[in-house]
Amino acid sequence: MTVFEDREKALEQMYFLDSDMAFKVRSRSDRLLARWVCGMTGAVSEAYIGEIIDLRLTGADDEGVIAKMVADIRAAGKDVDEKALRERMETLTAAAMRDLARPL
């Protein structure tokens, strides 16, 4: 292999690892946020987490997840501030990053 091929392979591997980590962080953050929403709505945790995962798998971004959660919280008769929900998502994303970055 040439130096350029080695470098290309290393960059591809780094991209793969970064993408994998981003997926894991997003998944963990979504699970934590879904559990938090379940505490507000009384929904069954595992079923609701499944709904959020399915939503992500259909291509929903953070806005789509937040919109669903806001609708579900309001449907349960609770008041929710979208800004507070977004802040909670950011906090849980940071916590997920820290958890996943810990050495084994």
pLDDT at position 68 over 90: yes
pLDDT at position 29 over 60: yes
Amino acid identity at 78: K
Q: How many domains does the chain have?
A: 1
- Helices 62-75 and 3-41: angle between axes, nearest 10 degrees: 10
Model confidence, pTM? 0.82
pLDDT at 61: 92
Q: What are phi and psi of 50, to 5 degrees?
A: -60, -40
The Cα-based distances of 35 to 12, 15, 25, 95, 96 in angstroms read: 35, 30, 16, 14, 14
pLDDT at position 104 over 60: no
**CATH value at residue 36:** 1.10.790.20
pLDDT at position 102 over 80: no
pLDDT at position 1 over 80: no
The Cα-based distances of 58 to 6, 9, 15, 90, 104 in angstroms read: 36, 30, 23, 22, 32
Per-residue b/e over 2-26, b at no fewer than 16 CB within 10 Å?
Answer: eeeeeeeeeeeeeeeeeeeeeeebb
pLDDT at 103: 66
CB 81 within 8 A of CB 65: no
**Domain residues for 50?**
3-101
**What is the average pLDDT across 71-81?**
93
Of 51, 59, 58, 65, residue with least CA distance to 93: 65
